[in-house]
Amino acid sequence: MENVHLFELNATSAKRIIKEIAVNTERVIITDHVRLRMKQRRITTAQVLDCLRKGLVREEPNLIIDMVAGKLNLRLFPAEI
């Protein structure tokens, strides 16, 4: 596991990383599960991207290590007005 770099991930660092990734939409992968939830909730891709860029992280991230890539499960909420 030479290419794995572990670091402390909290709500603040997770938000910074997500915001950096979401700047370039090609780096955002929307899975089939996400597309299903978007359809159920009538949420557009633009709304998802806006939430990734500007939303609030209200829970500490739960990191799931996959042999291919790390996955981050967390809840994002639209920024409060």
Domain residue ranges of the chain, discontinuous segments joined by +: 11-75
Give the up-direction half-sphere exposure of residue 39: CA atoms within 13 A in the CB hemisphere.
7
d(CA 57, CA 15): 6
Give this prediction's pTM: 0.67
In order along its 81 residues, the chain shows pLDDT tens digits of 566 666 667 778 878 888 888 899 898 888 898 899 999 999 899 988 988 888 877 777 665 555 445 555 556 666 654
Residue 55 burial (C-beta neighbours within 10 Å; 0-12, 13-18, 19+): buried
